[in-house]
Amino acid sequence: MEILAFGVQADEKPLIEHAFQDHHEVRCLDVFLNEDTAPIAAGYEIVSSSVNAELDAPVLETLAAGGTRMIAQRSTGFNNIDLRVAERLGMTVARVSYYSPYAVAEFAWTLALAVNRRIVRAATRTRDFDFRLDGLMGRDLHGRTAGVLGTGKIGEAFARIAHGFGMRLLGWDVAENPACAELGMRYVDKDQLLAESDLVSLHVPLMPQTQHLIDAAALKAMKDDAILVNSSRGGLVDTAALVAELREGRFTGVGLDVYESEAGLFFLDKSLEAIEDDTLARLVTFPNVLVTSHQAYYTEDALRQIVAATVRNVLDYTAGRRSENVLVPHS
């Protein structure tokens, strides 16, 4: 059988082709799966989609009409897939429930450290042979407080690094993680975490209950000199409210690997176009903000694991087996 994979990055293509070689043919496309591209999938029973695919009702209906029966999503998060519609259409949807949490946690730390120590500004200056230190002052993290919202696999990996820095740990989650408690993490309510943390890092999934978890009120509850890092999903933060706070001169730094309106922008070269998104355009002008384009997962190790799990998901589907990666049909 030939599988159609959408949204394949150049680095990812050889990994996908190699992983599928003993099993199925695979055709890799760099375009993302959305309403415009879904008709390409006509005749493909199995389609693999990437993190920024828009698998809403019209796209799923187009896929089903073209004969697609299985979607192998190459990410952990699945907030981009309308599972109810997929189930109604009788499709199987599988995701990758586990891959290196270190890839994302280490990247969240990369953002936190870069904004704290003004690394981008410093590197830009030294390229210009401007060796002044004015405006580059950061703060020790040792002895300060890290607040982790979502203490699952990635939140735990993030907390372990914070522990290594000698930080006090606060956590917020619907379920306490004993491994985090063992590190000395104290679980508190969200307001207390926001009020006491010098560094706030988001690691909960995006779902209706967590949409705009960091809204205007949450931002106001944070310390004026806090660092905010979001490497989970853009919709967790009300970006317009964040811009309003940044305009007031608040926060030591903000590191964002995700953005609520990233679909149609992230992973693409828009450098020659006029950016229509005024919120994003304003966001990147703040000297204390660093935006990256959803690259936290993008390590060789994580990609290999994602691709291997995707192959397993496809083989499970063709053999009629279920695994913990299957989102629909519900067992």
Ligand X SMILES: NC(=O)c1ccc[n+]([C@@H]2O[C@H](COP(=O)([O-])OP(=O)(O)OC[C@H]3O[C@@H](n4cnc5c(N)ncnc54)[C@H](O)[C@@H]3O)[C@@H](O)[C@H]2O)c1
Catalytic residues, by residue number, are 233, 262
Site for ligand X in 229-248 (CB under 6 A): 231-233
Which of 10, 127, 209, 319 is the binder for ligand X (CB under 6 A)?
209
Looking at the DSSP assignment, which residues form a beta bridge with residue 214? 237
Quick one: tokens of 75? 């990410």
Closer of 34 and 151 to ligand X (Cβ): 151
DSSP string, 50-71: -TT--B-HHHHHHHHHTT--EE
| Phi, psi for 298 (deg, rounded to 5) | -85, 70
Count, residues near ligand X per rule CB under 6 A? 27
CA distances from 157 to 54, 163, 203 (A): 29, 10, 10
Query: Do residues 167 and 204 touch, judged by C-beta distance below 8 A?
Result: no
Q: Strands 289-291 and 253-256: what pairing?
A: parallel
Q: Does 48 bind ligand X (CB under 6 A)?
A: no
Q: Would you say the C-alpha torsion 6, 12, 15, 17 has a positive or negative sign?
A: positive
Member of 58, 66, 138, 152 binding ligand X (CB under 6 A):
152
Kindly state whether residue 101 participates in binding ligand X, applying the rule CB under 6 A.
yes
User: Looking at 50, 92, 151, 313, which residue binds ligand X (CB under 6 A)?
Assistant: 151
Please report how close the Cβ of residue 114 comes to ligand X at its closest, in angstroms: 15
Contact between 80 and ligand X (CB under 6 A)?
A: no
Among 12, 257, 260, 262, the residue binding ligand X under the rule CB under 6 A is: 257
Asked whether the beta carbons of 50 and 32 are under 8 A apart, the reply is yes
Among 104, 113, 183, 228, interactor with ligand X by CB under 6 A:
104
The residue ranges that bind ligand X (CB under 6 A) are 76-77, 101, 104, 150-155, 173-175, 203-206, 209-210, 231-233, 257-258, 294, 296-297
